[in-house]
Amino acid sequence: MSDELTPATAHAVIERAQFAADGLLPAIIQQWDTKEVLMLGYMNAEALTRTLTEGRVTFYSRSRQELWRKGDTSGHRQYVRTAALDCDRDALLVGVSQVGPACHTGAHSCFEVDPLEPHQGFADE
């Protein structure tokens, strides 16, 4: 018997997840093998269900107010390998196999677009 989630069994995950007042859950997308953070998106209950049961990442677009599956237009798909709610159940970490750039700008990661140079802290300070 497989432990993979189905639409029927994903319901329990949806019940545990702590969606914000707007009905959305932040989803951190990470390359599954290197652990590189690729992007941040948002999911409503339907997007989370699809992501957990279909093998491709689906988001909820806050600007367009609709579901969108990553890569359907661009071809830059995200195939789900792992998923976990954080300890407060108010954020999701999704490990993916990324095909092409993750960022809509064409950058590999959305966090390569505007790098900052913060003061670095050290344990002995």
Look up the domain containing 41 and give its range. 7-101
- Which CATH number goes with the domain that contains 60? 3.10.20.810
Is the pLDDT reported for residue 107 higher than 50? yes
Let me know if residue 109 belongs to a domain: no
Report the alpha-carbon distance of residue 23 to residue 8 in Å, rounded. Answer: 20
Tokens 């108010």 correspond to 90
- pTM for this structure? 0.92
Q: Cβ of 17: how many Cβ atoms within 10 Å?
A: 16
Percent of all residues in the chain with a pLDDT value above 90, rounded to a whole number: 92
Let me know if residue 68 belongs to a domain: yes
Is the pLDDT reported for residue 102 higher than 60? yes
Is the pLDDT reported for residue 26 higher than 90? yes
